[in-house]
Chain A
Amino acid sequence: MTMRVPKLRIRTHQISLVQDVDRVSSAHRGELIHLALSFLDHFSGVEDIERAVLQAFSLQGRDMGRWNREKDFVSPLFHALSLREVRPWFEKGVTNVREVEVVDSRGELHRIDRVVIGKEVVEVIDFKVGRREEDHLAQVALYKGFVEDMFRMPVLGYLLYIDEPSVEVVP
């Protein structure tokens, strides 16, 4: 019987992940920022961001006392969304879908942070919190491929690094 154990395919979480306090904290902040951005259909002032951040905390039931809301969330988001390249994605009336799920041709589920649908071009945007990592470009390139397959229109891909803040165009 015991010979079978290693061959059981049970995928479990890596405990190391939850034992790294900084990593856990950073992951929670990332989740909250993504959630806040999902509440933002458009952005016309810092009060929109403040409300979205409050909504994110409320929906996740997280204790706000452990964070500096202004420094950790509102200010970085405000600066990122105020970038010249970013403003058009958050204008009122722009057709967009947020945290949209995509099922690929193998049945795998993906989630794109924001897709802005224009008349002649579709823009795929992925938000990143924290450092740049090698696989970010490949991730957006993959999403671009999905959107091209579905919309049959020219697609542009972008990475918005919230903490820098800066926009990286994905070729």
Chain B
Amino acid sequence: MKKATVIPLRENFLQRLAEEIFRDHFSAENPLALCQLTILIPHRRGAVYLRNYLFQLIGAKEKRPFLPPRIIAIEDFVEEVAVKLEDPPRRPLTPPDQAWILFEVVRGNSVYGKVATSWDRFFPWGIRLAALLEEMDRELVVSRDILYPEDVPREAIAFLEGLGGIYSAFDRHLGEHGFTTRGKRERLVAQRIEEAPLAQGPFYLAGFYALTRTEERIFRHLFARGARIFWHADPGDLPPLYRRWKKDWGLEIEASGSDESPSFQLHFHEAYDLHAELLQAGDILPEKIEGPDRCAFVLPDPSALIPTLYALPQGMPVNVSLGYPLDRTALFSLIEGLMRLQEGRNDHGAYYHQDYLTLIRHPYVQRLLTPSGKAVRIILHLLEEKARTYGKPFPLRGELEDLLSLSEDPERDRNFLAAEGLDLEEAKGFVRELHRHLLTPWEDVNTPVGLAAALRGVVRFLLSPFLGREDSLHDHPLENEFIYTLEDRVIPKEAPLLFAPGDRAPGPDAL
């Protein structure tokens, strides 16, 4: 019988799913029974909860270890299968690299090449175009020109009218150079799923709703091989896409769990701002939270995250699943400040004084130490004072380094610095060191590789006093993570880009 199992909305979907898996597949005598199962889910996070519910059913009761099923997000499943189908395996490209290939494809064309007169002008269009081609692959669309497109910007008209040719040339280029994209992998797996080396055990397709055409084709194949489908919905009133799925696949519906209509009790609490909301939340929160699935704080936007963390009861374990935007961090404001400083330089390479003062006031710079371990705040304070008294609107780097020597009252400056155990030479040395790490490397950045190196240099310089003793940064609990993300995730993405090396810098003549 072709059926889909619907877990009613009032039930905990993953908990109920775990019960189904346990009932149908767990065997105390056969430890391999569960791990032969593959559970496909829409996103990675669900795996943690599903595994935990299985643990509650198996491990916690029997007090012994077990091999859980393979729980894998569809995105990872597709990648894994595609790698096995590709011969030889290809290198997946990031969106900027896809845009670069598209730049190479379109710039020679007299019609749409006008938008591709330079890499920097083309880049935003390239990113959009790459996303469009990805969408076409995901939806198994046959590429063709879109003639006379309406309601699109003038620059996009040329691309859309030549879309068929662009897609073919892009596809050919990727193939010739051993590249691929996520969308292409989805298309590949969907088109060759019959020959794909899949796990032999049963498949569960759990929690999917709106399918792309590639997903639909993959799932149809798995379903024909006996995969079970689980939806989370009201069995008596399926949402539109489930109704369509049911009709198209000729499915029968089987409810699992209580069939009663959901009867949630909603309470609204009125508060006039975030602080008042958090105050009330503190009163409403249960004293003891039984598990991570029993209490969730859903925030309207990431700006509320840090105040919320500060307002939580002491000692409460927190699993932050919200992506926090880099542009809200102090780290970002520093990088932005460094970039603005470079952008604001005049024709002689001199810095705009206001941008410079913003940099030396940044908290990350203020907390630095001199090589002998002394706090630098007083040096930066004196430097700002000198810049205001003796500086000019656009000082050169060397002029900034000489500022500390200018004085009408050298004795007063000496005493000022001596209060922190510093002398003028050490103070001047620190300013030179500051410039060597924060100004000089940025002056010649004109490629992604250069940018990656400059960013890495900044992070290392600013963190050097704290290396190995990051716990001392506990006043800023998330700062470590922001820096780690920049260093481990963002910077490595810059360096290996196809257009990253200097000899392939922006511009059509660069190749």
Residues on A facing B (Cβ under 8 Å):
1-2, 4-10, 12-16, 18-19, 39, 51, 54-55, 57-59, 61, 63-66, 97, 100-107, 109, 117, 146, 149-151
Chain A residue numbers with a CB within 8 Å of B164 are none
B463:A19 contact, CB within 8 angstroms: yes
Shortest Cβ-Cβ A-B pairs, 4 listed? A58-B89, A150-B31, A63-B496, A13-B484
Chain B residue numbers with a CB within 8 Å of A16 are 467-468, 470
A125 to B36 Cα, complex, angstroms: 20
Residues on B facing A (Cβ under 8 Å):
31-32, 35, 51-52, 54-55, 58-60, 62-68, 70, 79-80, 83-84, 86, 88-92, 94, 309-312, 314-318, 320, 459-460, 463, 466-468, 470, 474-475, 477-478, 480-481, 483-484, 487-488, 496
Chain A residue numbers with a CB within 8 Å of B32 are 97, 117
Chain A residue numbers with a CB within 8 Å of B460 are 19
Chain A residue numbers with a CB within 8 Å of B62 are 105
Give, as a whole number of angstroms, the nearest-CB distance from B457 to chain A: 11
Give, as a whole number of angstroms, the nearest-CB distance from B189 to chain A: 13
Given A10-B309, A97-B35, A146-B65: A5 touches B475 (CB 8 Å cut-off): yes
A10:B477 contact, CB within 8 angstroms: yes
Chain B residue numbers with a CB within 8 Å of A1 are 310-311
Closest residue of chain A to B185, judged by CB?
A58
Chain A residue numbers with a CB within 8 Å of B68 are 101, 103
A55:B84 contact, CB within 8 angstroms: yes
Closest residue of chain A to B488, judged by CB?
A18
A14:B31 contact, CB within 8 angstroms: no
Provide a sorted-by-A list of 10 A–B residue pairs whose CB atoms are within 8 angstroms. Answer: A7-B315, A8-B316, A14-B470, A59-B79, A59-B83, A97-B35, A103-B68, A105-B64, A105-B65, A146-B65
Chain B residue numbers with a CB within 8 Å of A2 are 310, 475
Give, as a whole number of angstroms, the nearest-CB distance from B46 to chain A: 15
A19:B467 contact, CB within 8 angstroms: yes
Chain B residue numbers with a CB within 8 Å of A58 are 83, 86, 89-92
Chain A residue numbers with a CB within 8 Å of B91 are 57-58, 61, 63-64
B474:A5 contact, CB within 8 angstroms: yes
Chain B residue numbers with a CB within 8 Å of A14 are 470, 480, 484
Chain A residue numbers with a CB within 8 Å of B70 are 101
Q: Which of A5, A15, A103 has the most CB of B within 10 A?
A: A15
Closest residue of chain A to B69, judged by CB?
A101
Given A12-B480, A61-B92: A4 touches B314 (CB 8 Å cut-off): yes
Chain A residue numbers with a CB within 8 Å of B311 are 1
Chain B residue numbers with a CB within 8 Å of A64 are 91
Chain A residue numbers with a CB within 8 Å of B309 are 8, 10
Chain B residue numbers with a CB within 8 Å of A15 are 463, 466-467, 470, 480, 483-484, 487
B481:A151 contact, CB within 8 angstroms: no
A6:B474 contact, CB within 8 angstroms: yes
Chain A residue numbers with a CB within 8 Å of B310 are 1-2, 4-5, 8
What 9 additional pairs, Cβ within 8 angstroms, besides A2-B475, A4-B314, A12-B480? A12-B484, A16-B467, A39-B84, A54-B89, A59-B83, A66-B496, A103-B51, A103-B68, A107-B55
Chain B residue numbers with a CB within 8 Å of A146 are 65
Chain B residue numbers with a CB within 8 Å of A57 are 89, 91
Give, as a whole number of angstroms, the nearest-CB distance from A109 to chain B: 7
A97 to B170 Cα, complex, angstroms: 39
A7:B314 contact, CB within 8 angstroms: yes
A10:B92 contact, CB within 8 angstroms: no
Give, as a whole number of angstroms, the nearest-CB distance from B464 to chain A: 9
Given A16-B468, A19-B487, A105-B65: A151 touches B315 (CB 8 Å cut-off): no
A50 to B496 Cα, complex, angstroms: 22
A12:B314 contact, CB within 8 angstroms: no
A19 to B315 Cα, complex, angstroms: 30
Q: Which of A55, A101, A104 has the most CB of B within 10 A?
A: A101
Chain B residue numbers with a CB within 8 Å of A63 are 91, 496
Given A55-B83, A102-B66, A103-B65: A12 touches B317 (CB 8 Å cut-off): no
Closest residue of chain B to A54, judged by CB?
B89
Chain A residue numbers with a CB within 8 Å of B318 are 8-10
Give, as a whole number of angstroms, the nearest-CB distance from B241 to chain A: 31
A9:B316 contact, CB within 8 angstroms: yes
A39 to B84 Cα, complex, angstroms: 9
A8 to B478 Cα, complex, angstroms: 11
A12:B59 contact, CB within 8 angstroms: no
A12:B65 contact, CB within 8 angstroms: no
Given B52, B92, B470, which contacts A107 in the complex, CB threshold below 8 Å?
B52
A89 to B488 Cα, complex, angstroms: 35
Given A4-B310, A102-B65, A150-B64: A54 touches B59 (CB 8 Å cut-off): no
A10 to B89 Cα, complex, angstroms: 39
Q: Which of A1, A4, A12, A64 has the most CB of B within 10 A?
A: A12
A51:B488 contact, CB within 8 angstroms: no
Chain A residue numbers with a CB within 8 Å of B480 are 12-15
Q: Which of A2, A59, A66 has the most CB of B within 10 A?
A: A59
A150 to B54 Cα, complex, angstroms: 16
Given B54, B90, B468, B483, which contacts A103 in the complex, CB threshold below 8 Å?
B54
A15 to B468 Cα, complex, angstroms: 8
Given A18, A54, A65, which contacts B484 in the complex, CB threshold below 8 Å?
A18
A51 to B84 Cα, complex, angstroms: 9
Chain B residue numbers with a CB within 8 Å of A59 are 79-80, 83, 89
Chain B residue numbers with a CB within 8 Å of A4 are 310, 312, 314
